[in-house]
Structure 1
Amino acid sequence: MQIRSLLLASAAGLVAVSGARAADAVVIAEPEPVEYVRVCDTYGSGWFYIPGTETCLSISGYVWYQVGANGYENDFQQVGTNPVTGDPIIRDLSNDTPGYVGKRTGDGWIKSTRARVNIESRSETEWGTLRGMVRFQADWGGVTRSNSTALAGSPFSDGPVSIDQGWLALGGFFAGYSESAWAASFRGGATNFGSHSWGGMYYGYAQRHQMSYTFFGGNGFFATLSLEDDALAGDGYVPDVVAKVGVNQGWGSVWARFGYENDITGLPDSAPGIDHQSGWGASLAAQFNVPNSPGSSLRILGYYADSDTRFSSGSALDVAPEWSILASYNHQFSETLGVSVAGQYFNNLYLPGTDISTDVNAWGAEISAVWMPVTNFEVRPEIHYDKVDDLDGTVSGFLRFTRYF
């Protein structure tokens, strides 16, 4: 009897202990489901949804390495006389050809490296596509003068990262810092930029703060009106204005532009002894695609300016001509190789910041090629030549290797 009571007591104790341990047991929560990144195919390849949102994001960019050279022998020369002070106008001709990063005075190979990252977001709203874009960029390369002033950053130090562009858009509304609508309007397609090369010859490239609206109609028609920052030149409350209309279709494109510059001197109204005046420029251009040869096309661009306004083609002397014409042809020999040639004539260059003609003419030419032996890897050589009346001809060029992503 005593043994039976002992067994029952022991069993009761074990049950009590087991209950106490069960009450103190650690409960491991079930893992929450993970929302993996979803592909966003609304805008083509390379887009994905930001987790938890209906916003699509794209990350793209490139890295290039470039070796360039130039045959500039003019360096500093007088190109005119200041109509206000009578002082000679001296221009550093070694720095005037656009597009050739790291081109500086001095004999030898000029190396440069660039890294660029674009981050763009898009989402659909009842007012159209909502967009935002930020571009980060860093450049290495260049040489220094004897006074140790860096011209393009020391080639032996890290390249400073900066935000090259930042803008937002909703439907046809666009605002931010990007290429001027004169050079590249919002969603302008083939109507943007100059020749087929990376340098583009001369077409008035500039980046500006701006606010614009683009109307997109049927059959590829569009019209843009852009109000652009003039850095408080002249009347600081009056912006520069660009208007552009064009058509993009399968056969090619045609477009016209008009630009009004509040003050061509680039100085505020308060600047003493300056004859402040406005200026304007206009352009008519077309691109004709070659039938049965995808990627091949002929571009012809004509420019007129009433003064040294930025709304012009520009030129090798960094001043506007009264008129200019640019012709460029690109032939796509295969999916991986294209070659282009271009020429441009400049008639009657203006004195800087005035409407005074110099009767000086100029012309330029270029040849370029793009070879992509594998996807997203590009080899691009370009050679550019400039000739201004009474000045020596100048040659510059580069060989560039680019990896896109």
Structure 2
Amino acid sequence: MNIKSLLLGSAAALAVVSGAQAADAIVAAEPEPVEYVRVCDAYGTGYFYIPGTETCLKIEGYIRFQVDFGKDQSDHGNPGPGGFPEGTSDWDAFTRGQVQFTAKSDTEYGPLTGVIVLQANADAANSAFQNTKLDSAYIDIAGFRAGLFYSWWDDGLSGETDVLASHETLHNSIRYQYESGDFYAGISVDELEDGHYNPGENPNNVGVALGLGGKAGAFTYQVTGGYDTDNEEGAIRGMGTVAIGPGTLGLAAVWASGGNSYYDASEWTIAAEYAIQATDKLKITPGAQYFWNYGLESNNQDFADGDAWKVGLTLDYQITDNFYAKASVQYLDGDDIDDQTTGYFRLQRAF
């Protein structure tokens, strides 16, 4: 074998080996671009862009533990006008978890908003509160709102003493609200299935509510009306607050023409509360309310002749950021009712 033949054979062998190694080589794929969550500051704090969209989303909520006490068990800090069925014990503990999703995006008509609020309640003493429910769900754009949401009647004064609405204030509704600066005015059409109705009749169907309010310096005001078309009765309410000294004074008055879904606790009532900001973390709110013609007659339409009064005290304390404690005690007495002392203690973690 000559040298030329040896060199050619060696070159051929190297070519075969190199080709085999090239065939076995692994080529790493280029990494795909990752879209990180972007903060959306167009609608306030807490919003972020849903990846791949121009829709901003905010997630918030709270966890609440509460112990109610007293002769009449309330619906956990939201007492109604005519009292509640007696509980099975002098105290009752419950836990609630609530989460809210708010989505916003820009349109040619202004911001398009969608809100979903989910709530779960656990109460061993009252099966009515063993539930997971849709607490709110609505669409809002250009002043129009449609869906399940709380009406203007759900608003109240600072403490827990006042009773300024009756029955359920969460309705399937259609509403238009005009806003200009610190002023608003609107009208809503409400489904009143869970409202007031006469014995032997079907639940209500439709109500019409009006609301206007605003702010002028240290003074805020609100006027709310409601007409129950099935009962052909209505109510009107006025509220106002003003900063005085170390706190805020709140005043309210309500008149109802007869039993209706918006207000039927009494024919007339006035309420006053003074929220004292004692320290950066502690707020003390004493309150009082007087009712003329408290409660309804047996026909469930006309008001009774007796009067009633109520006094109470509420303490709010911020333990740390997003962690609060609240304690409330209320006393109710009247011409035609037994005196009642009720209250609750609450711990709440918001996020």
* Structure 1 counterpart of 2:304, from 358, 363, 369: 358
* Deviation, structure 1 residue 237: 11
SS in 2 for 1:5: helix
Show the counterpart of 1:391: 337
Show the counterpart of 2:176: 213
Show the counterpart of 2:283: 338
SS in 1 for 2:8: helix
Alignment of structure 1 residues 46-125 onto 2, 5 Å: 46-72=46-72, 99=78, 104-125=86-107
SS in 2 for 1:34: coil
**CA-to-partner distance for each residue in 1:231-266, whole Å, 9 max, x for gaps?**
3989999731111111223312122122111113xx
Distance 2:219 2:8 in 1: 99
**CA-to-partner distance for each residue in 1:300-325, whole Å, 9 max, x for gaps?**
1111111111222xxxxxx4311111
Distance 2:299 2:144 in 1: 32
SS in 2 for 1:164: strand
Distance 2:299 2:20 in 1: 92
> Does 2:209 match 1:249?
no
Contact kept in structure 2, 1:172 and 1:213, CA below 8 Å:
yes
Distance 1:231 1:163 in 2: 16
* Deviation, structure 1 residue 105: 2.2
Q: 5+ residue gaps in structure 1?
A: 73-93, 145-149, 154-159, 184-192, 265-277, 313-318
**CA-to-partner distance for each residue in 1:30-67, whole Å, 9 max, x for gaps?**
11221111111222222211111111111111111112
**CA-to-partner distance for each residue in 1:108-153, whole Å, 9 max, x for gaps?**
4321111111111112222111111111111112426xxxxx3544
**CA-to-partner distance for each residue in 1:261-297, whole Å, 9 max, x for gaps?**
1113xxxxxxxxxxxxx11111122111236x5xx31
* Structure 2 counterpart of 1:286, from 226, 235, 240: 240
CA 54–249 in structure 1, closer or farther in 2 if over 3 Å, else same? farther
SS in 1 for 2:39: coil
Show the counterpart of 1:181: 152
Alignment of structure 1 residues 184-203 onto 2, 5 Å: 193-197=155-159, 200-203=162-165
Report how many aligned residue pairs link the two structures: 341
Show the counterpart of 1:8: 8
Contact kept in structure 2, 1:195 and 1:201, CA below 8 Å:
no
Show the counterpart of 1:311: 262
Distance 2:205 2:347 in 1: 43
In structure 1, give the amino acid aligned to 2:46: G
Contact kept in structure 2, 1:306 and 1:355, CA below 8 Å:
no
In structure 1, give the amino acid aligned to 2:189: L
Distance 2:16 2:271 in 1: 96
Contact kept in structure 1, 2:192 and 2:261, CA below 8 Å:
no
Distance 1:106 1:167 in 2: 37
Show the counterpart of 2:136: 165
SS in 2 for 1:182: helix
* Deviation, structure 1 residue 326: 1.3
* Deviation, structure 1 residue 404: 0.8
Contact kept in structure 2, 1:381 and 1:400, CA below 8 Å:
yes
In structure 1, give the amino acid aligned to 2:262: F
Distance 2:319 2:203 in 1: 51
* Deviation, structure 1 residue 353: 6.4
Show the counterpart of 1:240: 207
The TM-score normalised by the length of structure 2 is 0.88
Contact kept in structure 2, 1:142 and 1:151, CA below 8 Å:
no
* Deviation, structure 1 residue 201: 3.4
- Which structure is higher in strand share? 2
In structure 1, give the amino acid aligned to 2:41: D
Distance 1:365 1:286 in 2: 19
Distance 1:391 1:39 in 2: 56
The TM-score normalised by the length of structure 1 is 0.77
Contact kept in structure 2, 1:59 and 1:117, CA below 8 Å:
yes
Identity of aligned residues (%): 32
SS in 2 for 1:13: helix
Contact kept in structure 2, 1:100 and 1:398, CA below 8 Å:
no
Contact kept in structure 2, 1:228 and 1:241, CA below 8 Å:
yes
